[in-house]
């Protein structure tokens, strides 16, 4: 029944210098180099009429069109641009076959791992806040990202800002997750379903942090729940955010905003007294202050008031002493 079995075999490759043109819209793109490849196709840097663009060409027409649909929905999300914007969709006719492709905005930046190699570790928390801000907008528009992982993210800038580049897994809330990667999937760890709901993305967001701290994507042993807890507790970077990460991993947050707000206030408290982000504090001391700070905001405030009070009192004492001498 099916005329062309586009699923099977023949991986289609383009090379630098190749020029592809669309059958429907007749636009031409000249391939510069390969940027990366995924399950549904390969992404190339190319130059078109509007300058540098990213071209994704695949062999599975259904998957490509499905992704295009998602990108179109993204452009309908009001206000900020979340994913790369869609420029063109077409087919390239070659050797009697037809290669579906789409063209999107080219985002220049560093991978998450590259970025973290060159920056202080407090950036991990800040990038997570940025990610949660975007997720919260996406969720409010009725979508869940799905396949959230470092490979699908990019840090652009300056100013440094996290952006997502591959939106192929984006799924309407209430449906089943379209695409996932085991390490970042709560179903794999036995910590929930694969239903598209905000908490699904929040789990993956936490696992991105885990992946930054432990670059090898370790496998699940018997009890996923306990294993992840142990990992979070034993890593210096992760234990900074222990309470928030465990809540995210265990599906305790109802929304990205809720998690974001807790993270922001924890980062604020941590950063207090430090002016420059470049000053590196020892991990140990930061960890010890962290626990008190999260839940005991009010008490910390009281404490500081008392401290300030006694400081003034001591100054006053010195003043009195100096007066008498």
Contact set with another protein (CB under 8 A) = 1-7, 24, 61-62, 65-66, 68-69, 72, 89-91, 98, 100, 174-177, 182, 187-188, 193-196
**DSSP secondary structure of 214-237:** S-S-PPP-S-HHHHHHHHHHH-HH
43 φ/ψ sector (left φ>0, alpha ψ -120 to 50, else beta): beta
Residue with Cβ nearer another protein (65 or 231): 65
Q: How far is the CB of 181 from another protein (least distance, A)?
A: 8
Residue with Cβ nearer another protein (6 or 211): 6
Residue with Cβ nearer another protein (56 or 260): 56
Q: How far is the CB of 7 from another protein (least distance, A)?
A: 7
Considering the candidates 88, 90, 91, 147, report the single residue annotated as catalytic.
147
Tokens describing residue 131? 């990610």
In degrees rounded to 5, what are phi and psi of residue 87? -110, -40
**Catalytic residue at 88?**
no
CA-CA distances (angstroms) from residue 29 to 84, 106, 154, 178? 18, 13, 23, 30
Residue with Cβ nearer another protein (5 or 279): 5
| Cis peptide bond N-terminal to 274, omega within 30 | no
HEC readout, 60-128: CHHHHHHHHHHHHHHHHCCCCCCCCCEEEEEEEEECCEEEEEEEEECCCCECHHHHHHHCCCHHHHHHH
Residue with Cβ nearer another protein (16 or 174): 174
Helices 283-295, 242-249: axis angle to 10 degrees equals 70
Q: How far is the CB of 154 from another protein (least distance, A)?
A: 24
- Reference 240, options 209, 204, 274; nearest CA is 209
> Which residues are tagged catalytic?
147
């Amino acid at each position: 029944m099916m005329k062309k079995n586009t699923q099977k075999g023949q991986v289609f490759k383009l090379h630098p210098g190749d020029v592809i043109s669309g059958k429907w819209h007749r636009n031409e793109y000249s391939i510069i180099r390969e940027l990366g490849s995924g399950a549904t196709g390969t992404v190339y840097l190319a130059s078109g009429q509007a300058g540098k663009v990213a071209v994704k060409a695949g062999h599975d027409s259904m998957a490509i069109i499905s992704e295009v649909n998602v990108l179109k929905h993204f452009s309908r999300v009001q206000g900020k641009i979340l994913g790369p914007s869609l420029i063109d969709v077409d087919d390239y006719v070659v050797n009697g076959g037809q290669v579906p492709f789409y063209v999107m905005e080219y985002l220049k930046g560093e991978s998450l791992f590259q970025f973290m190699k060159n920056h202080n570790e407090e950036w991990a928390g800040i990038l997570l806040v940025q990610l949660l801000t975007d997720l919260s907008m996406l969720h409010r528009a009725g979508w869940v990202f799905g396949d959230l992982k470092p490979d699908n993210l990019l840090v652009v800038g300056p100013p440094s800002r996290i952006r997502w580049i591959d939106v192929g897994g984006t799924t309407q809330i209430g449906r089943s997750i379209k695409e996932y990667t085991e390490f970042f999937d709560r179903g794999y760890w036995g910590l929930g379903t694969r239903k598209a709901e905000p908490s699904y993305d929040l789990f993956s967001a936490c696992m991105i942090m885990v992946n930054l701290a432990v670059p090898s994507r370790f496998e699940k042993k018997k009890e996923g729940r306990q294993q992840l807890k142990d990992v979070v507790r034993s890593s210096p970077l992760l234990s900074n955010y222990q309470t928030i990460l465990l809540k995210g991993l265990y599906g305790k947050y109802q929304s990205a905003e809720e998690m974001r707000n807790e993270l922001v206030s924890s980062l604020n408290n941590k950063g207090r007294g430090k002016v420059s982000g470049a000053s590196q504090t020892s991990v140990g001391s930061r960890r010890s202050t962290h626990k008190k700070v999260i839940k005991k905001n009010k008490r910390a405030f009281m404490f500081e008031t008392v401290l300030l009070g006694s400081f003034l009192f001591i100054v006053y004492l010195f003043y009195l002493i100096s007066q008498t001498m």
